[in-house]
Amino acid sequence: MDAAPEAFPPAVPTGSDTGSDTGPTTALLTDQYELTMLRAALADGTAHRRAVFEVFARRLPHGRRYGVVAGTGRLLDALERFRFDEETVVFLRRRGIVDDLTADWLRDYRFRGDIWGYAEGECYFPGSPILVVEGTFAEAVLLETLVLSVYNHDSAIASAASRMTAAAGSRPIVEMGSRRTHERAAVASARAAYVAGFASTSNLAAGRCYDLPTGGTSAHAFTLLHDSEEEAFAAQVAALGVDTTLLVDTFGVREAVRTAVEVAGPGLGAVRIDSGDLAVLAHDVRAELDALGATNTRILVSGDLDEYAIAGLVAAPVDRYGVGTALVVGSGHPTAELVYKLVARSVGPEPDSPMEGVAKLSTGKPTHKGRKWAHRRLEDGTAVAEVVCTHPECTVDGGRPLLVPLVTEGKIVGREPIAAARERHLRSRAELPPTALKLSRGEPVLPTTYDDAEHAGHAEHREHSEHPGPTGDTSRQGGTR
């Protein structure tokens, strides 16, 4: 689908990610190797060297043209609870994972550094430094697994959701994937989908945690519980009113539509079709509803929908979509393939020790050294390139700075209402070239270019990366370490 929608369906989000430093610790949502590195670095004195870690994607999932940053609000909440309380320390000591020196250090752990990042809802591309973590090696290395757990999941979901909302245009999409994933992943998925434009969710925990709009009516079990479809519809209308949505594909769809209108009257709110040839059935149902005088009754379709199925229904008289499984598995790409890499460190432990860039040279997994700053270059309001600089004073003609402060000297400064991330995504996606919204496989819609520090601010001196990866690498490697 090539045409960009003008706006998401209207919604009334009032919630925000408020966060709290109370609640269970998140410190053990990590890999053991974070703590073994910490233990060794404390022992040899390198733990207190200043360090810069960055989160980026070497490539986008195969065929994708852009990614969507999501999970920022959840990460900031989790960071506040990243504390090694006594029970946690005792567990680590009992397992022999940490020694006394490391245990004592962990008891006082607080992240006291700085974190910059692409604001939530922003689009990203291969090499985009979507998160920059600055602190001592000890305090920053511990965050790797937590950061990647949140961002890899939520960004994958939001990236898939964005393709779906682009395909749906002005028609709302309801998130209904809770029964197809882990119970906590379901809450995170609902949140990420809302950032990318979904209108509401069926998940009540997500509704409560993030004040998302929620909705839901009945399943086939409710119809089968009753002695007839008419009795089931009558019971639902009696309980929920005529504006409810009646499920009409338990038996025969056309007969169910007639029964629904007989029971609820022409003011029936909506009918839902969950199986069969949805395009054909939508036309049949619309004709039947109109013939019965229910011209304002809406049609909701569900049942294994993804962005391709939604695009295939663009000509059908559908008013709303329900998406479950495809959403919560990232529409075939359940991870964003983000990595967390050390890109700079001080040459000594002293606070004034100079910083130097570092990079991996591993075959297939090289990195681009040095702390990064990023800008999106626009021409006549349309994005044309992602420009990544290795100098803080880098300027880009027509460039929009992308990194914003999230944590400053350990204090969270980047919280915002989820509505702000949702609105930002609409703006960010709208400035991409029209080819970004094509569902066919293609390369990232923007090239990533690098301005080296000695050439900061001069567009003519660029290292171009035209392929998915910070060094132009196009091979497919697994893993993130």
Q: The CATH number of the domain where 293 resides is what?
A: 3.20.20.70
**Tens digits of residue pLDDT in 74-130:** 999 999 999 999 999 999 999 999 999 999 999 999 999 999 999 999 999 999 999
| Beta strand extents in 337-446 (DSSP E only) | 338-346, 355-357, 373-379, 382-389, 399-401, 403-408, 411-412
Q: At residue 205, does pLDDT exceed 70?
A: yes
pLDDT classification of 22: cutoffs 50, 70, 90:
low
Q: What does pLDDT average to over the chain?
A: 90
Location of structure tokens 């769809």: 253
Residue (of 402, 480, 417) closest to 124 by Cα position: 402
**How many structural domains comprise the chain?**
2
Q: How large is the average pLDDT for residues 140-167?
A: 98
Indicate if the alpha-carbon torsion angle 102, 106, 108, 113 is positive or negative. positive
Q: How far apart are CA 275 and CA 272, in angstroms?
A: 10
Whether 67 and 91 share a structural domain: yes
Q: What is the pLDDT of residue 71?
A: 98
3-state percent breakdown (helix, strand, coil) of the chain, nearest 5 = 35, 20, 45
Contacts by 16-19 with C-beta closer than 8 Å and gap 24+? 16/73, 16/211, 16/415, 16/416, 16/417, 16/418, 16/419, 17/73, 17/74, 17/76, 17/77, 17/210, 17/415, 17/416, 17/417, 17/418, 18/415, 19/73, 19/76, 19/77, 19/80, 19/412, 19/415
Q: How large is the average pLDDT for residues 414-438?
A: 98
Structure tokens at 173: 């999409």
Indicate if the alpha-carbon torsion angle 393, 358, 132, 451 is positive or negative. positive
Q: What is the 3-state secondary structure (H, E, C) of 229-274?
A: HHHHHHHHHHHHCCCCEEECCCCCHHHHHHHHHHHHCCCCCEEEEC
Q: What angle do CA 380, 384, 388 make, to 5 degrees?
A: 125
- From 258, 287, 318, give the residue that closes a domain: 318
Backbone angles phi, psi at 60, to 5 degrees: -90, 160
Q: Which of 16-25, 105-114, 352-361, 374-383 has the lowest mean pLDDT?
A: 16-25
pTM given for the model: 0.89
Residue (of 168, 163, 56) closest to 118 by Cα position: 56
**Tens digits of residue pLDDT in 301-311:** 999 999 999 99
Determine, yes or no, domain membership for 11.
Answer: no
Q: What Rg, from alpha-carbon coordinates, does the chain have?
A: 25
Determine, yes or no, domain membership for 145.
Answer: yes
Q: What is the pLDDT of residue 17?
A: 53
Determine, yes or no, domain membership for 402.
Answer: yes
Q: At residue 438, does pLDDT exceed 50?
A: yes
Whether 36 and 126 share a structural domain: yes
Structure tokens at 109: 């752990």
Amino acid letter, 256: A
CA 278 to chain centre: 28
Q: At residue 179, does pLDDT exceed 90?
A: yes
Q: What is the pLDDT of residue 397?
A: 87
Q: Which of 9-13, 137-141, 213-217, 351-355 has the lowest mean pLDDT?
A: 9-13
**Tens digits of residue pLDDT in 52-70:** 999 999 999 999 999 999 9
Q: At residue 447, does pLDDT exceed 80?
A: yes
Q: At residue 460, does pLDDT exceed 50?
A: no
Whether 277 and 354 share a structural domain: no
Edge-to-edge strands of the sheet including 399-401?
399-401, 373-379, 382-389, 448-451, 463-465
CA distances from 369 to 111, 128, 145, 177, 434 (A): 23, 13, 21, 40, 33
Q: At residue 480, does pLDDT exceed 80?
A: no
Q: How far apart are CA 394 and CA 383, in angstroms?
A: 18
Residue 379: CATH number of its domain: 3.20.140.10
Contact between 217 and 246 (Cβ < 8 Å): yes
Determine, yes or no, domain membership for 227.
Answer: yes
Whether 43 and 153 share a structural domain: yes
- From 289, 318, 347, give the residue that closes a domain: 318
Whether 287 and 228 share a structural domain: yes
Whether 304 and 369 share a structural domain: no
Q: At residue 356, does pLDDT exceed 70?
A: yes
% of the chain beyond a pLDDT of 70: 89
Q: At residue 230, does pLDDT exceed 50?
A: yes
Q: What is the pLDDT of residue 349?
A: 86
Q: What is the pLDDT of residue 297?
A: 98
Q: Is 430 helix (H, G, I), strand (E, B) or coil?
A: helix
Determine, yes or no, domain membership for 467.
Answer: no
Whether 299 and 392 share a structural domain: no
Contact between 139 and 147 (Cβ < 8 Å): no
Q: How far apart are CA 195 and CA 74, in angstroms?
A: 12
Q: What is the 3-state secondary structure (H, E, C) of 57-116?
A: ECCCCCCCCCEECCCHHHHHHHHHCCCCCHHHHHHHHHCCCCCHHHHHHHHCCCCCCEEE
Q: What is the pLDDT of residue 286?
A: 98
Determine, yes or no, domain membership for 205.
Answer: no
Whether 356 and 277 share a structural domain: no
Q: How large is the average pLDDT for residues 356-382?
A: 89
Q: What is the pLDDT of residue 42?
A: 97
Q: At residue 359, does pLDDT exceed 60?
A: yes
Q: What is the pLDDT of residue 452?
A: 66
Q: What angle do CA 356, 359, 365 make, to 5 degrees?
A: 170
Determine, yes or no, domain membership for 459.
Answer: no
Q: What is the pLDDT of residue 453?
A: 44
Whether 312 and 373 share a structural domain: no
DSSP state of 435: G
- From 318, 351, 366, give the residue that closes a domain: 318
Domain encompassing residue 311 = 217-318
Q: At residue 11, does pLDDT exceed 80?
A: no
